[in-house]
Amino acid sequence: MSNQNLATITQNLRKAFLSQKTRKLDWRYSQLKAIKKLITENKEQITAAVKKDLGKHDFEIHQTEIVMPQTECEEAMSHLESWTKTEKVYTPIPLKPASSHIIKDPLGVVLIISPWNYPVNLALVPLIGAISAGNCALLKVSRHSYNVGELLYKLCTKYLDPECFAFDFEGGAQYITDLLEFKWDHIFFTGSVNVGRIVYQAAAKFLTPVTLELGGKNPCIIDKDVDIAFAAKRIMWGKCWNAGQTCIGLDYLIVHKSVVAKLVDEFKVVLKEFYGDDIKASSSYARVISKQHTERLSKLFSNGEVVIGGEADVESRYISPTVILNPDMDSPLMQDEIFGPVLPILTYENIDDALALIQSRPHALTLYLFSRDQKIQDQVLVGTQSGSVMLNDVLLHFTNPALPFGGVGDSGIGSYHGRLTFDLFTHRRALVQSTTKKFLDLPFRYPPYTQFADKV
Ligand code: NAD
């Protein structure tokens, strides 16, 4: 798309915003209802498109791509009135008889850029927030999940108000570079740290506020006192969910030396339980998004001792669940975000060493700890920083709309889900309503100030 076309699109979105239609609650309800309908009426098509792109089971698709956006939509609809209500706040005596309020203003025209790994969820959930807050939006979904992108484009264009939204699923890096040449009132970006930096720099030129939902390497510590079979089950489930292509996925394990061998054995047991003898043939195991990423992942096998898996088939985008012991710390396996079903294991004897390793790296999006020991739990909580923490389980914190979802430091700026998505697309505008009654106008503030000399 040419910049000329983009200029027309952004102008039209601005015109629609200035018409004030998005400020009306009726309009917001109608668009939220439309999103809900879009999902409900097209569940099968959505499932089929995600399956084509990521080859995963209907159950996984249902949990992340259908249920979560639906829940967020319902949550927004049931709280919209209270979220949007002007709040009356305290007014100090010198300001009286004025009253003070906070108005919930929409930001205007916002840009949402979403990735391919949960292509419906990570596009629609921010959009639901933008709508609830009364914004117009351009939603740019990833072209790597092409089948979902094409479908979302078709459905969003059909179900949503065409004056207030624009969509794209075909543009690549150049298209995003072009989009960033325009002034937006907010940019909501989900993607890698590197592209996040590019977006942040481009936004700075216009002083545009950003939300950056980024990635990184999420550590998982396994203490010696846990039920290893139970921990292995949860960890391997989390690692294989969406074939490891999850921003909050476990990137690497730091395991107490005394339980490493047992953990590897238990991984073998649970993989058999989950997928049988032929993982490749299991309908419960997803595929990598592209041949290029499959190739990238297969090259990670040479960075340590492969103790489980290590199989790749680039043509069918298959990478087996792979566990690697003692990885080379300078290798891509331990330097770059893995974003696939490859799991390196480091070991520790003293928890302080595990914490020192984590603290020497950029802050992760999520940190996991398996331990029954309250002291260790406390030590890990105060001795590390990360966007979120989950103790004794994995991934599921993402599904609670009452929790802020976002990073800290290199893993992102800002957080969303539930009410917070509404808040981030809203400007809390201060309003003081003063009086026009002249007799209430006390003379104390007007010059000459010499009359107040004894008050200082
Ligand atoms: P990406 O950053 O590679 O791509 C994001 C978008 O940026 C794509 O549309 C791409 O076309 C575009 N892009 C690529 N290079 C660009 C450039 N030089 N200039 C401008 N635009 C460019 O991310 P991805 O591959 O789509 O998604 C995977 C990443 O997203 C992982 O790092 C993952 O951790 C992260 N992620 C984060 C979250 C979260 O909520 N924090 C969720 C999902 C994924």
Residue 406: per-residue pLDDT: 98
Measured over all CA atoms, what is the biggest interatomic distance in the chain, rounded to whole angstroms? 92
CA separation for the pair 126, 23 (Å, rounded): 18
Residue 131: per-residue pLDDT: 98
Q: Give 1's pLDDT tier (boundaries 50, 70, 90).
A: low
CA separation for the pair 32, 392 (Å, rounded): 36
pLDDT tens digits, one per residue of 68-118: 999 999 999 999 999 999 999 999 988 889 999 999 999 999 999 999 999
CA separation for the pair 160, 315 (Å, rounded): 38
Are 346 and 253 contacting, i.e. CB atoms less than 8 angstroms apart? yes
CA 346 from centre of chain: 27
pLDDT surpassing 80 at residue 404: yes
Residue 311: per-residue pLDDT: 97
pLDDT tens digits, one per residue of 247-274: 999 999 999 999 999 999 999 999 999 9
DSSP 161-184: -TTTEEEESS--HHHHHHHTTS--
pLDDT surpassing 80 at residue 397: yes
Query: Which pair of tokens denotes residue 38?
Result: 């879009």
Mean pLDDT for all residues in the chain = 96
73, 247, 266, 337: which is the annotated catalytic residue? 247
Q: Give 2's pLDDT tier (boundaries 50, 70, 90).
A: low
Residue 444: per-residue pLDDT: 79
Residue 456: per-residue pLDDT: 81
Q: What is the average per-residue pLDDT within 372-379?
A: 97
Residue 94: per-residue pLDDT: 85
CA separation for the pair 260, 262 (Å, rounded): 5
Is 213 annotated as catalytic?
A: yes
pLDDT surpassing 70 at residue 180: yes
Q: Which residues line ligand 1 (CB under 6 A)?
A: 113, 115-117, 122, 142, 172-173, 176-177, 190-192, 195, 198, 213-215, 247, 337, 339, 365, 407, 412
Sign of the four-CA dihedral 264, 365, 338, 383:
negative
Sign of the four-CA dihedral 250, 255, 259, 262:
positive
Residue 362: per-residue pLDDT: 97
Residue nearest to atom 26 of ligand 1 (CA): 115
Task: Please compute Rg for the chain using Cα positions.
Answer: 25
pLDDT surpassing 80 at residue 60: yes
CA separation for the pair 301, 344 (Å, rounded): 10
Residue nearest to atom 42 of ligand 1 (CA): 247
Q: What percent of the chain has pLDDT over 90?
A: 93
pLDDT surpassing 70 at residue 298: yes
- φ, ψ dihedrals at 88, nearest 5°: -90, 130
- φ, ψ dihedrals at 438, nearest 5°: -65, -35
Ligand 1 atom at shortest distance from the alpha carbon of 115: 26
Residue in the block written with tokens 């020192």: 356
